[in-house]
Structure 1
């Protein structure tokens, strides 16, 4: 494979700063370098022009905060990448892309997938990167990697021009003003955004939430839901809470990504869920369920600030995890408790009826019979 360093030297011209340092200087946005130092990239000319234009203006406080947030996500992602914690790195780069939808982060994600040994996912993100940055200095190298990765993935896409597939895009929750990517990676798997919602308490905004399901397994199960509902239209899927029950009872991974609108202590969060799950803590509850619920509540051991993120996820076999600002803690493995958790938002007595509806607004898109389910589409 051709080394991409000549492209870097040509792009940098007389600039002789280290590659990673130069990228961080460019508004805190950068691309990965392989541990062996051969797969390097710089910002596209268009992005470099944006950087030069920004020098002519004094950025306001909001722009500066945004720049620092993107820079921090990049730096944290690089640390995780260098430690070969590729899934954590992918999550951080996805957040960076959500904050600033720049194609450079699609390249970062592709690099991490490739290093993690997931050729199909890596090829998909490389394709998304080239669609957004077709004139990238190392485009030829990226095309070479795609061909090689397609062969590793089974050769199904080798030498075939794939249909246009959009990369993950931010999806706004209007009340909380929080945005969520249309697809994220959880435990190395692609998760699809079924909808977003907003939680308030006594007139105060508490958090915005994006609800995700394991893309591949949920799509596989979706035709059964359509048959039960008699159609794939959202109105029919909502009938008798079929769409909500599909998520609650589906034997696939699920994740609630929560962005907080206000500062909360770990105790406040745990107490909130304790109240919602109080039936599980009564002496009359099954001892195993009571113990699992107590273990789940113990996962909330970190305070959160405004705009901090928490993800509550459950696997297909019932493992419950809580990730707060990229720090993950695994809890009990209890399928019954998983159902109780998702019923908090989607069950017969949800936290908010409006939220219950909006969390499945995109569920009909699971019926799309395209390669988007596995190749990086919305």
Structure 2
């Protein structure tokens, strides 16, 4: 088959697909095209073609726009430049509609469920929300983000979706080429910065500012390693904790599990429900997160911690939980974890998901094991990008 890389195609843009692009078809091949919107006609340049049934392209000229198209607020959110955002060229309302279509399509295709989906906005603006960023220094030493599906670094002067002021000091200086720089703006507005560099073949981290972040959610003040896991959107942790509280509904005295627990945000919610006579088991593989969690929840003796990978720890957990909360990584929980949880027979499973495809696959696995999807909420926790956060309630 001829390599189409560099070829310009005139395309009628079809439906949105998972991953921040839309689908078109040319001569029997699928073209995944970025910087376009469903219903548009565009000229697109093929950027990647590995043969087979599909290739990738970027819309370099819009011949017929849809009403939902807007100028991107960042001049780098265009073909060939920064790959950090996917949908800056769409209105915020249409971005959420596109994400809703993706979640619904994944549920239908992978779980066989026809499910109406609405993606809800979180409090705050669609700009200035990103509180955690990992940058990389290019050959000229300037910090930036990588182009889409590329190692090429696009230097930044500012980033409109990042918390205002968080990147100022990082972008003003020059770095050793290849250095990665992690920046976190915490709940008190303090900026924490560390560099990750490879020196003589060894990966080294050096804290430059801060180190211990303070966050606020679920009625508590949290102190944790600044670059450990915490929700990126400032309103996400509080919002998700509220949904978990409503759907978990763990009775007093019950046993509850919090899997992939992080520093224990959801464990704290469950602990408040089961009370001193109940028990919450939190499972987390990150040892620093476990130590931070134990420290933050030291006033809740009903919470106990297990350090290790969920799939390895799960078979050894005693008792029958009334409710399980899990917040797995982007790859999802998987068939083995779903089966083990079903064998434990909780009445309710509250599943927090950052990837709709992984969620849909796991909903199917839970379905095979006797659980059905009862409720679903989706949140625009990453405006301007294709990412979407979902919370599902599964019942026996």
**What TM-score, normalized by structure 2, do the two folds share?**
0.26
Which one has more relative contact order, counting CA pairs under 8 Å at least 6 apart? Answer: 1
Bigger fraction of residues in helix: 1
Normalized per residue, the structure richer in strand is 2
Structure 1 length as normaliser, TM-score? 0.27
